[in-house]
Amino acid sequence: MHKIDYRRVRVSVAKNPKTNDLLQYLHSHHIAIHHVRTTKDALQFEIARQHISILRKARSKYGVKVKLDYLTTDELLPRRFITLISLLCLWLIPIFCNYWIWEIDIQATTPEEKLAIESLVQEEFAAPILKNRLPADQEVRELIMQKFREYSWVHVAKVGSKMTIQPQLAPKNEVQENKDDYYHLIARNSGVITHFDIKSGERKVTPNMTVYKGDTLVSGLMVVGEKQLLIGAVGDVYADYWLESDFVIPQKVQYEVVTEEAWHIAFAKDGLPTEVKSLALPKWLARYVRVVKVETRKKVVETLTEEHIESRILPLLHEKMSQSLPMKSRIKKENLLHIQFEGGKVKGKVLYLINENIAKPYPIH
């Protein structure tokens, strides 16, 4: 099948008595003529490339001088300044966009949960946002888990320019082993009630009320008139209480600090030490090269003194205490009671204000 070529060619015909005859010849062959204009010495117009053969026949027949100027070339990338600018934009725009998070996807189990988490996230950070301004994964995880206590873990993943947040519900602790077992909820230890998460049962205490170890928090019996219905108490009761903790840690500590960060281009098979980030390249290019961010670290040995209480010691003790507490518990306040440095050790005592579920099941006989 013959391919039609509509690319334009500018034709310059030297003026002579046969010029009009050439135009009439082209018109008789139904050739479209565009942008006709005259100069002092020539007549100029544009035709499609596919009609050049007919133009040459007319030139030979009438003996006129014709000059052709091809307005488009067969080059894949014409050697022009605009081509260079276009190629630079094609290379720089994806790299620039890679430094941003353009979409934050919340994968919750229900639309209500998704909307609540989206509102919380929008208050702290909203897309689009630069990746270096984005909170760390652990900070995002703690933000959501402190607000929504029903989650046991929050998966945070960043792929390209998309951030995915997927909360995971905590496994439900079924108090009843079978339908014949019913329980009260009593206090595991003393504290001040803050809030409830009750599935069934009748509350016996109220927020801001002080309770003591063994007190009934939620009854598994519901009073209806003169009768008592056996329904069983299921749920959590949260309270604040103070916990005193002694600690002993070495006075000399060793840790790593980042001294330098730099981007490197390496072959796909080569490995670089302490790679912390990589650019997402097209698949065809990623088979050959990688663009990665590399950290240079050094080990620091430090002797703890009183100057490091706020910056080193308390954060270390806070993290250690957090890991020892049950799920959904949190530390609301901490007071350093006393501390001493002797014999290469740091010894002391810290008073923590902890909020956690103090309810434990007690069988109804």
Mean pLDDT in residue range 77-100: 78
Extract the tokens encoding 265. 């281009």
Predicted pLDDT at 74: 57
List the 183-187 sheet strands across, edge first: 202-203, 216-219, 183-187, 359-363
Q: What pTM did the predictor assign?
A: 0.45
Token match 């749920």: residue? Answer: 235
Average confidence (pLDDT) over 192-208: 91
Amino acid 226: pLDDT: 77
For residue 341, the Cα-to-chain-centroid distance in whole angstroms is 43
Q: Give Dmax over CA atoms of the chain in angstroms.
A: 124
Q: Please answer whether residues 299 and 256 qualify as being in contact, where contact means their C-beta atoms are separated by less than 8 angstroms.
A: yes
Give 43's Cβ-side CA count (13 Å radius).
Answer: 15
* List of domains in the chain: 8-70 (3.30.70.260), 100-169 (3.10.20), 183-237+359-363 (no CATH), 254-302 (no CATH)
Residue 250 burial (C-beta neighbours within 10 Å; 0-12, 13-18, 19+):
exposed
Residues 295-323: pLDDT tens digits? 777 888 888 888 888 888 888 888 888 88
Does residue 257 surpass a pLDDT of 80? no
| Average pLDDT value over all residues in the chain | 82
Check residue 210 and give its pLDDT: 94
